[in-house]
Amino acid sequence: MVEKVTGLMKQKDRIRNMGIAAHIDHGKTTLSDNLLSGCGIISEELSGKQCFMDYDEQEKARGITINAANVSMVHPYGGKEYLVNLIDTPGHVDFSGEVTRSMRAVDGAIIVICAVEGIMPQTKTVVGQALKERVKPLLFINKVDRMINELKLTPEAMQEKFVKIVNDVNKLISQMAPDQFKKDWLVDIKTGKVAFGSAYNNWATSVPYMQKVGLNFKDIIEHCRNEKQKELAKKTKLHEVLLDMVVRHLPSPIEAQKYRVPNIWKGDMESDVGKDMQACNDNGKFAMMVTKIMLDQQAGEIATGRIYSGKLVRGMEIYSNGTKQKMRVQQLGVYMGPDRINVEEIDSGNMAAIVGLKHTFSGDTLSSEPMEPFESVKHFSEPVVTKAIEPKNPGDLPKLIEVMRGQAKADPTLAVTIDEETGEYLLSGMGELHLEIVEYRIRNDWKVDIKTSNPIVVYRETVTKPGTEQHGRSPNKHNDFFLIVEPLEDTVYNAVYEGEFKEGRRKDSKDIWQRLNELGMDKDQARNVCDIFHGNMLIDATKGIQHLDEVIELILDAFEMVMKRGPLSQEPCTKVKVLLTDVKLHEDAVHRGPAQIYPAVRNPIYRGMLEAGAGMLEPKQNVFIQTPAIYMGNASRDIQSKRGVITDMRQEGETCYIDSKVPIAEMFGFAGDIRSATEGNVLWSTENAGFEAVPRELQTSVIVQIRKRKGLDPKIPAACDYAD
C-alpha cells in the first residue's frame, strides 16, 4: 500500500484531495470507516463500528470527532488507480475551527446529510466554509435505511425528500459559491454528484450506479425491509460508489490550484512562485501551508499541511514566513489515520506531515525562501468561554505554561493569556466542551495536575454613538493628541469580521479605500486607515503633522492596548472607530518616548469611549431543539428561563422544532436542563450567533461582576477618571 501511495503522489492528474464535512452525528466518521475498509486499510467487519479516524481517547469516549484526521487511500477507476487524500472533520460547533483549516488543504468535499434530519445549522456552516475556500462540494444523503424502516416512506415520498435536500443544498451553493462556479458546482442527482445510502450498513448508490448494476429504489426498499442490507452492501458497495463519484467529479490539484491559489494567496501571480503554485510544479519553488500542528509525546510537534509547489525532501532546510526562522525537516511522512508512514520525499499537490519544525504554527507559510504568505485562515467564530487554570503543584508552572502555549499553537481557536496584573493563566475556547478536551489533554497526555475555575464568558465592549473630540496631553506637557471615538459602520464591521479586509497595521489604504467607501465610510477616512485590530479601526485624519511618522507606531500600540482592554471592565473592544484629528509634538525626540505617548493616547480613547455611550456586548448561540410535541411547552419554558428568544417554532407530525437564540452566559449546564425538561426525549444543536448588546437593566450588574472577578474597584469608571 505504501509503495502504491508514494508512486501515485507523483501523478498529479490521479490525485484527489477531499474532506468529509457535516453536522454532528450525521455519519462522517462511519462513512470514513467504510471508505477505508473498501481500500483495504481496515477490516470489513469493523467498518462503520471501529471509528478508525476517531483515534483520540476523548473521541472514543464521547462518540464525536474532535480532531480533523488525514488518511491516504488508493482507488481503482476506469482501469487506472487514483490516490485519494481524505480528511475527516468534526461536526460539533466547538471544533468548527478544525473544519475551516482542513478546507484550506483540500480541493473537494463530500457534504454528508442525514436523510431523516435534512440540512441542519452546522451543515450550512460547513458548506459556507468549503465554498469560501473554493472547495467543490458533492453530496451524500446518509441513513436512508432509517427513512425506510423507521419512517416507512414510500418510494415516491423518499424521492420527494431527496429532491428537497438536494434543492436546499443547491440553494446554499447558489448563494455562496463564486460566480464562475455557481452553475457547474450545483449537485445533480442525474449526473451522479449525489449519492444515497447507509454508512452504518455499508451500502450506497447513485443514479449512474443504479443504471450500471440494474437496481432501482424498490429493490433497495425491499432489501432494507427484509433485513437484507448485508446482501445490498455486496451489490452496491459504499466505497466504490462514493470514491467513483470523487474521482469522476472532483478536480485534481493541477485543475484546482489554477483557481484556488489566487483566492488564498494575494502575492504576484506573475512571479515565479505564483506561476509554480498555479501550475502545481514539482520542480518549482517550494511553498506549503501548515493547516494543523499535532502534539505527539514521542515525536514532539508534527506540522501537517498542503504542498502547493516544489518538492519536500527529508533533511531539507525550509523557511517559516510567520516566525522568520529557518528549520530542517527531520522526518517526513503521510498519515494513514493514527499511523504516520515515513517517506523520503513528497511532491506538490499532496499533504505532508513534518517532524522537526519547532518554529512554526497552524496557518504558517513554509517555503524555500521568503515569500508573500498565504492569506490567514479566517475562523467563523472566536473564543467566547474562558477558564482560569493553575497547577496544583507550583513547581509544575513552567511546564503548564509551555503546554498551554503548545496547545494554542496547535489550535488557533484557543487563546492563552497570562494576566500580569492578576497573575491568572487564562484559557479561552469556543465553548465548554472545547475547554474540557484541552483540560483532559493537559492532565492525561502531558501529566500536569491542574485546578480550573468555573467557565467565564468573554464579553466585548463597544460604543453606541459618536463622541466629542477628546484632548490628551503627555505627562511632560510637551505633546498633545486630539481624538474622536465613534461606532464603526455596521457594513464595514461585517466585512472585517468576514475576512474581506486583512487585519493589521497598514502603511496606506490604496488597496481597500474604494471598497470601504462603497460600504459607507467617508472617502477621506477610507483613504487613511492605519490599523484594523480585532474588528476596530484607527484612522489618521490629520494633515501635514511634523514628526508624526516617528511616533505613529507608539500611537498604534496605545490604540491596541485600549482595544484589548476597554474602559468599563477591561474586556476586549469591538466595532470601535478612533479618528486621530490633530497632533502637536515636541521637536526633540527625547520628549516623545513611549512613557509620554502611551498615556496621552490611551486616556482620551478611554474618555472618548465613555462619552460615546460605551456598553457591553455578550456572545450568543443559536439553539435548535427537536422534541416530541408533548414536551414543546417544557422545552420553550427552559429556553425562556435562560433569557432565550424563540425565533421559530413548527410542528411536523409528532415532532416539534424550536429555533432560538440564547446568551452563552446562560448556557452552562444546558444539556442537563433540557434533558430534564423533555425527560430525555430531545435532540439539540448550537451554532455561534455573534455578539449582541447586554440588556440595559443587566449592564451595570454584568460590569460590576466582571470588575470584582478581576480584582478591580467595583465602581464603574466615568470619563473624568481618565483625565491627563
pLDDT of 337: 55
How many C-beta atoms surround the C-beta of residue 195 within 10 A? Answer: 28
Residues of the chain with confidence (pLDDT) below 70 = 1-2, 23-29, 32-34, 36-70, 88-100, 297, 336-338, 377-382, 419-424
Q: Is the dihedral of CA 634, 636, 637, 642 positive or negative?
A: positive
- Which residues, 6 or more positions from 161, have their beta carbon under 8 angstroms from its beta carbon? 115, 118, 147, 153
Q: Tell me the percentage of the chain whose pLDDT exceeds 90.
A: 43
Q: What is the per-residue pLDDT for 229?
A: 82
| pLDDT at 130 (0 to 100) | 86
Q: CA Rg, the chain, in Å?
A: 27
Note the pLDDT tens digit of each residue in 19-66.
Answer: 888 766 666 567 766 676 555 554 444 444 443 333 334 333 433 333
What is 261-367's CATH superfamily?
Translation factors (2.40.30.10)
Q: Give this prediction's pTM.
A: 0.71
3-state SS, residue 348: coil
Q: What are phi and psi of 71, to 5 degrees?
A: -155, 145
DSSP assignment of 616-639, as one string?
Answer: EEEEEEEEEEEEEGGGHHHHHHHH
Would you state the pLDDT for residue 25? 63
pLDDT of residue 419: 65
Q: Where are the alpha helices (DSSP H) in 215-337?
A: 217-225, 229-235, 238-249, 253-264, 272-279
Q: Which residues lie below 8 Å from residue 183, measured CB to CB, with a gap of 6+?
A: none
**Predicted pLDDT at 37:** 58
Q: Which amino acid is at 145?
A: D
91: Cβ contacts below 8 Å, ≥ 6 apart:
21, 22, 23, 24, 25, 26, 28, 64, 65, 122, 126
Query: What CATH fold (topology level) applies to the domain 462-613?
Result: Ribosomal Protein S5; domain 2 (3.30.230)
> Cα–Cα distance between 527 and 509 in angstroms, integer?
5
**C-beta of residue 331 within 8 angstroms of C-beta of residue 288:** no
CATH (residue range 2-251): 3.40.50.300
The continuous run of DSSP H or E covering 582 comes out as strand 576-584
Cell matching residue 137: 462540494
Cα torsion 364, 368, 372, 375: sign: negative
Q: Which CATH architecture has domain 617-698?
A: 2-Layer Sandwich (3.30)
Per-residue pLDDT, 423: 61
3-state helix, strand, coil in the chain (%, to 5): 35, 30, 35
Whether 22 contacts 30, CB under 8 Å: no
pLDDT of residue 71: 77
Residues in CB range of 330: below 8 A, 6 or more apart: 314, 315, 355, 356
Please count the other Cβ atoms lying within 10 Å of the Cβ belonging to residue 408: 21
Inter-CA distances, 171 with 165, 175, 187, Å: 10, 6, 10
Closest to 644 measured CA to CA, from 658, 659, 631, 660: 660
Question: Where, residue-wise, is CATH 3.40.50.300 in the chain?
Answer: 2-251
Query: Would you state the cell numbers that stand for residue 65, as one nine-digit string?
Result: 470527532
Give me the pLDDT at residue 50, please.
40
Q: How far apart are CA 573 and CA 547, in angstroms?
A: 29
pLDDT of residue 93: 42
What are 419's strand-pairing partners? 424
Q: List strands edge to edge, sheet with 470-473.
A: 470-473, 480-487, 576-584, 536-540, 529-533, 504-505
What are the residue ranges of CATH 2.40.30.10 in the chain? Answer: 261-367
Continuous segment of H or E residues that includes residue 524: helix 523-526
Number of Cβ atoms within 10 Å of the Cβ of 606: 23
Superfamily of domain 385-456: Elongation Factor G (Translational Gtpase), domain 3 (3.30.70.870)
Q: What does the pLDDT read at residue 231?
A: 84
Q: How many CB atoms lie within 10 A of CB 183?
A: 10
- How far, rounded to the nearest angstrom, does the alpha carbon of residue 635 sit from its chain's CA centroid? 30
- Residue 65 — φ and ψ, nearest 5°? -90, 130
CA triplet 340, 253, 106: central angle to 5 degrees? 55
Burial of 79 (0-12, 13-18, 19+ CB in 10 A): exposed
Residue 327 exposure: Cα atoms within 13 Å on the Cβ side:
22
User: Residues spanned by CATH 3.30.230.10 within the chain?
Assistant: 462-613
Where b means 16+ CB within 10 Å and e means fewer, 366-393 reads: bbbeebbbbbbbebbbbbbbbbbbebee
